[in-house]
């Protein structure tokens, strides 16, 4: 098994549920444990020398809401850190492949709310295999009852990919003169490794999706800032029909988004994105239609159109960048880039909506600033898009 990559197992559960004891039994590492309370305050990774497994120890879920949120935040922060690195310090893939959710077999209760907290913690890692580990399974007579109770609790959470419920005694336990021997460790590790191929595929897909989501979030924030700047620039007493006054802003926005997606760009690529005749024609058509609207100053119309046009450019460049990033289009095929951008702008729902909405509501919009009008129309455009998707 030494030639395969380690599986990264996120170990979750309530404080005192036996997470650290379980990890110690599998990794052999000296993990601090305590009775009835949480010892783990930060995330640590423990590598097993026996199994191709790395256990990721986490702070236990507490009963206070604030402490619960701290644990969820800790796990999400760890996930974000993983996304910034392809591999960990030992060269293993920085992903989460599966979850071991520890439940105290002596507690006689399975809290559905805690399972929901676990689900929130791993929300980004969709469909990853989850194993419910009933720790401290000291009473053989109660094991079957506990397993059924856990299965029923998980049935209420359809989003969790529960693989198996496994009773475990992580270390020998002395009850008076008798010893409850260690059990379930081998079954847990083998069951986890049985889903190795599927788990690795799921984790890679999750990683790629979350990386794209993070890049998209950053790119959208950049576009929002550029859109506000576009409104200001557009208010200048110069027509944007040829979009000349917006070129520096559009160029900076385009380069910024391409950098976010780690795309090496040439001057030809940037020119193809913002400088083609087809793209310019979209701006001309917008301004030409809105020029005739009464009651709203030309400079205000200009500014509103500039804002929507910059926003549309940003959306199109984000879509283009994701297409290049995922290898669906060659960044060096300039004709294809121009065609892609032109199609995105021509079919932009907000640009199509803005003209008609301003024409219909010119009286209501009279006297408002460009930014106010932009926000009103933008909100209406988003609501309209939602209705169209239903």
pLDDT at 91: 57
Going residue by residue through the chain (390 aa), what tens digit of pLDDT does each one get?
A: 445 688 999 999 888 888 888 998 888 766 544 444 444 456 788 888 889 999 998 887 766 767 777 778 878 787 777 776 665 555 556 688 999 999 887 776 666 777 888 888 888 888 999 999 998 876 777 888 888 888 888 888 888 999 999 998 887 776 666 666 778 899 999 999 999 999 999 988 888 888 899 899 999 999 999 999 988 887 766 555 545 677 888 899 999 999 999 999 888 889 888 876 566 666 666 655 555 566 666 677 778 888 888 898 999 999 999 999 999 999 999 889 988 988 888 888 777 787 778 778 878 887 888 888 888 888 888 887 776 665
pLDDT at 288: 59
Distance CA 91, CA 87 (A): 5
* Domains contained in the chain, CATH given: 7-194 (3.40.50.300), 212-389 (no CATH)
Q: Do residues 320 and 385 lie in contact, with contact meaning Cβ atoms separated by under 8 Å?
A: no
pLDDT at 389: 62
pLDDT at 351: 76
Say if residue 327 is exposed, middle or buried (CB neighbours under 10 Å; 0-12, 13-18, 19+). exposed
pLDDT at 196: 93
> 305: which DSSP letter?
H
Q: Do residues 339 and 347 lie in contact, with contact meaning Cβ atoms separated by under 8 Å?
A: no
Of 246, 260, 267, the C-alpha closest to 320 is 260
Query: What are the pLDDT digits (tens) for 20-49?
Result: 889 988 887 665 444 444 444 567 888 888
Sheet holding 129-135, edge to edge: 44-47, 53-57, 7-13, 98-104, 129-135, 161-167
pLDDT at 390: 57
Say if residue 214 is exposed, middle or buried (CB neighbours under 10 Å; 0-12, 13-18, 19+). middle
pLDDT at 131: 96
Q: Do residues 375 and 358 lie in contact, with contact meaning Cβ atoms separated by under 8 Å?
A: no
Of 62, 203, 58, the C-alpha closest to 128 is 203
Beta strands (DSSP E) in the chain are: 7-13, 44-47, 53-57, 98-104, 129-135, 161-167, 173-175, 178-180
pLDDT at 222: 96
Distance CA 171, CA 122 (A): 28
Going from the C-alpha of 38 to that of each of 16, 68, 120, 126, 340, the distances in angstroms are 6, 12, 20, 27, 54
Distance CA 334, CA 146 (A): 63
The pair phi, psi for residue 56, each rounded to 5°, is -105, 105
Distance CA 358, CA 364 (A): 9
Count CB neighbours of 94 within 10 A: 18
pLDDT at 33: 46
Q: In whole angstroms, what separates CA 294 from the centre of its chain?
A: 45
Question: Can you read off the two tokens belonging to residue 168?
Answer: 């475990």
């Amino acid at each position: 098994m030494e030639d395969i990559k380690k599986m990264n197992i996120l170990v979750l559960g309530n404080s005192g549920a036996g997470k650290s004891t379980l990890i110690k039994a599998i990794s052999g590492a000296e993990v601090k444990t305590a009775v009835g309370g949480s010892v783990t305050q930060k995330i640590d990774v423990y590598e097993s020398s026996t199994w191709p497994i790395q256990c990721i120890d986490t702070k236990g879920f507490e009963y206070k809401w604030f402490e619960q949120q701290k644990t969820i935040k800790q796990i999400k922060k760890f996930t974000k850190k993983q996304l910034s690195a392809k591999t960990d310090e030992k060269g293993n893939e920085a992903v989460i492949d599966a979850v071991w959710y520890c439940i105290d077999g002596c507690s006689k209760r399975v809290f559905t709310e805690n399972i929901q907290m676990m689900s929130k913690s791993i929300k980004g890692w969709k469909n990853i295999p989850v194993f419910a580990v009933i720790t401290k399974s000291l009473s053989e007579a109660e094991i079957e009852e506990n397993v059924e109770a856990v299965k029923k609790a998980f049935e209420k959470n359809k989003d969790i990919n529960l693989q198996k419920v496994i009773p475990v005694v992580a270390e020998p336990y002395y009850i008076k003169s008798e010893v409850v021997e260690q059990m379930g460790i081998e079954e847990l590790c083998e069951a986890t490794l049985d889903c190795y191929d599927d788990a690795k595929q799921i984790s890679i897909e999750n990683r790629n999706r979350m990386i794209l989501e993070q890049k998209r979030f950053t790119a959208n924030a950049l576009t929002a800032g550029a859109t506000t700047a576009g409104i200001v620039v557009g208010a200048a007493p110069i027509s944007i029909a040829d979009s000349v006054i917006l070129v520096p802003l559009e160029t900076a926005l385009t380069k910024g988004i391409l950098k976010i997606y780690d795309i090496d760009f040439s001057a030809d690529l940037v020119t193809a994105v913002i400088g083609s005749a087809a793209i310019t024609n979209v701006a001309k058509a917008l301004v030409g239609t809105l020029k005739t609207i009464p009651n709203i100053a030309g400079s205000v119309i200009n500014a509103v159109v500039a804002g929507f046009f910059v926003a549309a450019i940003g959306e199109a460049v984000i879509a283009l960048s994701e297409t290049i990033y995922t290898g669906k289009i060659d960044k060096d095929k300039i004709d294809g880039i121009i065609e892609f951008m032109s199609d995105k702008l021509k079919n932009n729902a907000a640009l199509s909506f803005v003209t008609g909405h301003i024409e219909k509501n010119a009286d209501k919009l009279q006297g408002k600033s460009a930014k106010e009008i932009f926000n009103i129309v933008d909100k209406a455009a988003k609501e309209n898009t939602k209705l169209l998707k239903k």
